[in-house]
Structure 1
Amino acid sequence: MAQKAFVFRTSDEDKKWLAQELFNGTLRQGWGISGTSLKSNDSEISLEKWIPQYIAAAHVHWQTEVTPEQAAKRYGILRPMLEVEEGDLLVIPKMPTWGTFTVCEAATGYSFDERDSKERDGYDDFRHTISVKTDSMKRFGHKANEQSRVMASKFRAYQSAINRVWNTEAISAIQSLFMMPSDESRIAVETVLQEQILPDLTARYIEKLISLGPKEVESAVHLMLEKCGYEIAEVNHYDSEGGDADIIATRSLPFLSEVCQAVSKLYVQVKAKSGTDWNDVAGVKQLQKITEGEIAPHHKILVSTATEFTTECKVMAEECGVVLVNGHQLLAQLIKYI
């Protein structure tokens, strides 16, 4: 059977533990609390049976009300894990650090970790798993070589949690990288920066950014978008029904804009918060509401200086197509463009 390739995206907030698990032979995927297995007795659970199980589990573990439509979308996102077989190649972006990625070989197909959370470092989530061959791990910086640059350039096309790779150039790059030695020197430098230096610096500068006040944070995002080539079409746009966008920005698309006036349109909500914003889901709801009826292609972005988003927010954001940008990511982009 032909070797398949997949791109797996994992939680940024839990990266340290997930990296530890990966290098011990287990690739874990989120939205996997108790009671949400995709299989029962080695047989796939149907969508019709899985939906009520997921809704009940989300209510118990996340205290979140999930609609059947949202559960169905979640099933569709997770289901490609069932296609993974022994020998398939898996690519994990931002693993073990932001500027790197890991390529490895699957040892088995999908399984669900039923163990008590006490046996899993206290985690109840991330029970969807693929066993990987620990001696197959290859790690690369984005610019380590020609093939890693090709792969890094393709990541934008694979934004879902689990992505089957069909692009022939991407597949060729993955297969070539799998045959190469790891870029360990880059990994060592990235690890020191990411784990020992950047966390303290980032936290310090995020607090300084927050101290400027909400309007100034919004102005910084405004300026960053302009530096990226966007035109600010409107600010503080809101309706009387709960919809709100702090910034609406547009950018002409090369070639297309010359023949059909095509533009990229962003609806941006900006929040100046510290730590975890426990009401962050409100920003997703505001963006979803304000774009109801919008027929032109657009993107919705929730930018927050908070270090992480709540589970409820992440669930709703993925269902509503809202991109989440946390404080660490915002700071990196501000430094890059301003």
Structure 2
Amino acid sequence: MSDRANRCGANCDRMVHACRAIPSASLTPVPCWRYTLVSQCRTAKSLGQLGVIYNFRHDRDRTAEIAARIEADHEVSQGWGGGEANLDIREKGFVDATRECYELNTTRIPTNLSRIGDLKDGDLLVMPHMPKQGCVSIHVVDGSFPECYRYEPEDVTHQNHRVMVRQSFGMGGEISARHVTLAEYHAQLRWLRLPVLPIPQYGAEFETIVRRMEVDATAEFRPSALDEFLLGVAVELEKLFIKRVRGISASGGDISFEKLCERLLTANGYRVERRNQYDGVGGDVDLVCKRMRGNTSIFETGEVTLFVQVKKHGDMSDAEGVKQVVAMQRAQPDADGCVMSSADGFTAEACSLAKRHGIALLGKRDIFQLAMQVLADLFEQ
């Protein structure tokens, strides 16, 4: 066993002794792979700042032995190593020698393999279909080239190129390439054919996974359902929508939050009768709307009035808007009331007062959902 493996073994022993000092109730059993390769290696060196992220292909016929090597020696293997030939990346003429050894038509593959020479401490190596089909594992490079690289001579499986890693995630099969976080990566995986390929466009996604697994050894990223994917897209759209909405004027002009609320109301069967109505004794609404009751039920006739207070807020909306609507309702008790806000939510006082008086509170998510209905209608036009 290598010195590196011996050091990791010693670290593992220390981790075991440390864990014995923790009450058993606080320990959650986890698969051996995850315990060995995430927990104990982090004891030796924290994850720290992450570097460049690479897609790191491997010979899938050798998956089992490559996985065993990761566990025993903390080395990931790369093929095209020449077997009994000396194709050390550090040697001059490596590219041409590799092309000749494998009788390649171009130098594309050996030139790509030369990227191993760019590896730095803390870079991430993403290995698709490791440790099994459909899974992904992530490995943190230990040291910068050439210290992180070793050439194993006379490896008859041609896995001569070895890269040292100090930490591995997902070697127990915890990370599915079909998890919603990796949906875009998985869709492009078939085109990522070269052995060592930088994939900075997916850096945020993989960093999210390793940061989560660093603090939670039981974290799993199983295959996601379509609904989960669609929900993730909706959340991203909501964030973008609310950001844009909060950047426009509160009122005045055609592009304002008040005009947006008008549009949402008219799209739901209301017509705006008046704007900016006051009663002089605390009542204040931005919009007075009406709708025929028959729009929802043939058994209800006549019109319903809706008092609307519009608040363009960024954090929380207080009870002021609710109080203004309640005051307006004193003169017209049969009118409905509503506060439409771009805020993240409403204060406890606002919620309590609204519940007591039957005032509808529409926050950012409600505004977003109503706006999506309007957008759908626009696309049909």
Report the TM-score range of the alignment, normalised by the length of the smaller protein: 0.3 to 0.5
Q: Which has the larger radius of gyration?
A: 2
- The higher-RCO structure (CA 8 Å, 6+ apart) is 1
For normalisation by structure 1, the TM-score amounts to: 0.43
